[in-house]
Structures are given as structure tokens and as C-alpha cells.
Amino acid sequence: MKSQSHSRRQLLIGFCAAGVVAPLLAQARPDPWATSPWRKLKDADWRARLPAASYAVLRSEATETPFTSPLNHEHRKGVFACRGCGLPLFQSTWKFDSGTGWPSFFDAIPGALGKKADFAIVVERTEYHCARCLGHQGHVFDDGPRPTGLRYCNNGVALTFTPT
């Protein structure tokens, strides 16, 4: 048994080393960014289309200073969208005051966000970004209100608001 387990492990290592596993995984999970027209935008294009603070957050994963966004005080009915590409991300009815200083939401429009693990502060967090242009929005935590229990903690400079 021990040698059989050992040989399976060697076989798996061999497949990985030969580059067999990674292409199979790539086929199983297509990269939406690969076909996005937003991919064609160069850094200079992003800098030209965005205010400096928005560029820093959306393209470099910076964080705006808490309690500085006018969107913290936005209470009208409407839609919050990605400042980078205009994709609708949140309904205003999902916004709540988390006390953190950033606009917070307990739900997101289905398919509007992508997520990834973030270890920037050593502790693992879940970063989320616009599914269309991959612009960084913020982090999601599991300490939000019902019905989801989630708190999408968003940088206000990464959003626009359109009243309805």
C-alpha cells in the first residue's frame, strides 16, 4: 500500500512538472479577462479616464480613507456601478451603514463581481472586483446583516451612483 501511494504521488508530481495539470485546469475554468474588451485598455488609458484616487483603488488595489466618500451619505433609490466600466454592482436597497466609513452592501447583483483570496495584510481576506473590467472594489466579510450575513465593504471612489 505504501509504495502504491508513493507511486501515485510521484505520478501526480510528474504530471504537474510536465505541465499537464495546469492546462487542464485552465480549460476547466476559462479566464473571462482573456476575452474582455477592457483588457485592451493600457495603463495610460485607465489614468486618462479615471480620477487619481479612483485609479489608485481600481487599478492598484489601494484603499480610500474611511469616512471620505460622499456615497456614504447616499440614500436615494438607485444603482451603484463600477466607476471603471459602468457595470451595475449593487442596488441601493442593499446598502447599509456598517459604521466602517465605506459604503457597505449586504448583497451584489448576480455575476457582477469576481472574488479572490487577498493576503496583503497577512490575514486572509476575500477581495472582490468588477467582473467586467477587473477593477478592485473592496473586501467582503461575513459580519453583515440578514438576509445574507455578508458585508461588501466598498471603496466609494470605485463606484458611481445613478438614481432611479
* pLDDT tens track for 84-99: 999 999 999 999 999 9
**Per-residue buried b or exposed e for 123-140, using 16+ beta carbons within 10 Å of the residue's own CB:** eebebbbbbbbbbbbbbb
Split at pLDDT 50, 70, 90, the class of 69 is: very high
Split at pLDDT 50, 70, 90, the class of 124 is: confident
Average pLDDT of the chain to the nearest whole number: 84
Q: Does pLDDT of 139 surpass 80? A: yes
**Cell of residue 13, nine digits:** 508530481
103-123 pLDDT tens trace: 999 999 999 999 988 787 778
Q: Catalytic site residues?
A: 153
Average pLDDT over residues 61-72: 96
Q: What is the 3-state secondary structure (H, E, C) of 61-105?
A: CCCCCCCCCHHHHCCCCEEEEECCCCCEEEEHHHEECCCCCCCEE
Q: Can you tell me the distance from the alpha carbon of 90 to that of 92, in angstroms, rounded to the nearest whole number?
A: 6
Question: Which carries the bigger pLDDT value, residue 33 or residue 45?
Answer: 45
Q: Does pLDDT of 138 surpass 50? A: yes
Residue located via cell numbers 467582473: 131
Burial of residue 97 (number of CB atoms within 10 Å: 0-12, 13-18, 19+): exposed
Split at pLDDT 50, 70, 90, the class of 59 is: very high
22-44 pLDDT tens trace: 444 445 555 555 666 777 789 99
Q: Is the pTM of this model over 0.85?
A: no
| CATH topology assigned to domain 36-163 | 2.170.150
Q: Can you tell me the distance from the alpha carbon of 43 to that of 161, in angstroms, rounded to the nearest whole number?
A: 24
pLDDT value at residue 24:
45
Sheet strands side by side (includes 78-82): 88-91, 78-82, 159-163
Average pLDDT over residues 12-21: 45
Task: State how far the alpha carbon of 108 is from the alpha carbons of 24, 68, 87, 115, 153, in Å.
Answer: 31, 22, 12, 12, 11
pLDDT value at residue 154:
97
